[in-house]
Amino acid sequence: MTEVHAASRRSAPSRRRTTHPAPAAPFRLGDISFLNCAPLRWGLRHGGAREQFALASGPPEWLAEELLAGRLDAGPVSLVRYLRHPDAWELLPGGLAVGSDGPVRSCHLVSRAPLGELDGAVVALSRTSRTTTLLARILLEDALGVRPEYRPAPQHLDSMLATADAAVLIGDEALRLHARPPAGLRVQDTGALWREWTGLPMVFAVWVVRREVARERPERVRAISAALAEAAALARAHPAAVARAAAAESARGSDGPLSEDVLLDYYRVLDYSLGARQLAAVREFAHRAAARGEVPLADPPPSTAPGGHP
């Protein structure tokens, strides 16, 4: 497995003169650089698939742009992004997602006042998120009947709350808010709110493959999908080792380490599966998003993930 980073990416000049057949181009697989994908990174490192692809890590919006530009072949994208690009991408065979059936711990609506009192208030929406920000709007307006004003903002709690009454955040910063809730703020888990309201799990991100790649390299796509499924299963079977590795990963950032206990609990609730219940949740969310004109009213996603593991 080769780690490819955005900053060091450069296209090599084409000077090949050999008559030997060119080796198959490496498969370029995306990876969300948040702790939500640390178990998969661990599983891929410890499984047998590391030579099959080059892994490019970045935030979800960067991955979506790289996939659209054809610089990645497959990878995870925010659910809203998937719903917006039905012509470009299809679900990875076998199905893989970032979701939860209840609290997710890392996708929050943070407010000073109770959510029911946010009528006319200003809610800052993290530009890092497409799905949680829309989910928060759906919850506030459809479930709670309040009509705030929304402002997209860079994801940083203090600066968001300097000019807003509430903020929507995701990823490691949101997980830290769950682990250490700041005094005077309510940290409300959007996965839990959605579950209470609909009875459904929530799917925040899905792995997609570019349609062209699915058509031209179906064997390779199935092998990558099997490697990811194996990585998820391996990580599930070794929760303590995964939490230890993720705690070490969290310590490399500038915001302070997260404890192994917090991460063990996180990976107990985080769910990579995309089965019938999760797909029903995707259809419910897609229906509500389309009613707002946020995603096209296209063919609904299938009720079972396309099969694929060899």
The residue from 33, 57, 106, 155 that contacts ligand ISJ (CB under 6 A) is 106
Indicate which single residue of 38, 47, 53, 78 sits in contact with ligand ISJ (rule: CB under 6 A): 78
Q: Where are the alpha helices (DSSP H) in the chain?
A: 38-46, 60-68, 79-84, 131-138, 157-162, 171-179, 190-198, 211-216, 218-237, 239-251, 260-269, 276-291
Task: Dig out the tokens for 36 from the structure.
Answer: 């939500």
Q: How far is the CB of 77 from ligand ISJ (least distance, A)?
A: 7
DSSP 23-51: PPPPEEEEEE-SGGGHHHHHHHHHSS-TT
Interacting span for ligand ISJ (CB under 6 A) from 126-134, 142-150, 261-269, 298-306? 126-134
- Between residues 213 and 270, which has the closer beta carbon with respect to ligand ISJ? 270
Dig out the tokens for 163 from the structure.
């000019």
> In the range 146-175, which residues lie near ligand ISJ by CB under 6 A?
170-171, 174
Q: Is 132 among the residues that bind ligand ISJ (CB under 6 A)?
A: yes
> Rounded CA gap, 178 and 194, in Å?
17
What Cα–Cα distance (Å) separates residue 300 from each residue in 64, 100, 197, 303? 20, 21, 21, 9
Nearest-approach distance from CB 18 to ligand ISJ, in angstroms: 42
Tell me the residue length of the chain: 310
Q: Does 107 bind ligand ISJ (CB under 6 A)?
A: yes
- Candidates 28-36, 83-91, 117-125, 288-296 — which segment interacts with ligand ISJ by CB under 6 A? 28-36
Distance CA 196, CA 192 (A): 6
Interacting residue with ligand ISJ among 204, 266, 267, 272 (CB under 6 A)? 204
Residues contacting ligand ISJ: total by CB under 6 A: 18
Write out the residues near ligand ISJ by the rule CB under 6 A.
32, 34, 36, 60, 78, 98, 104, 106-107, 129-132, 170-171, 174, 204-205
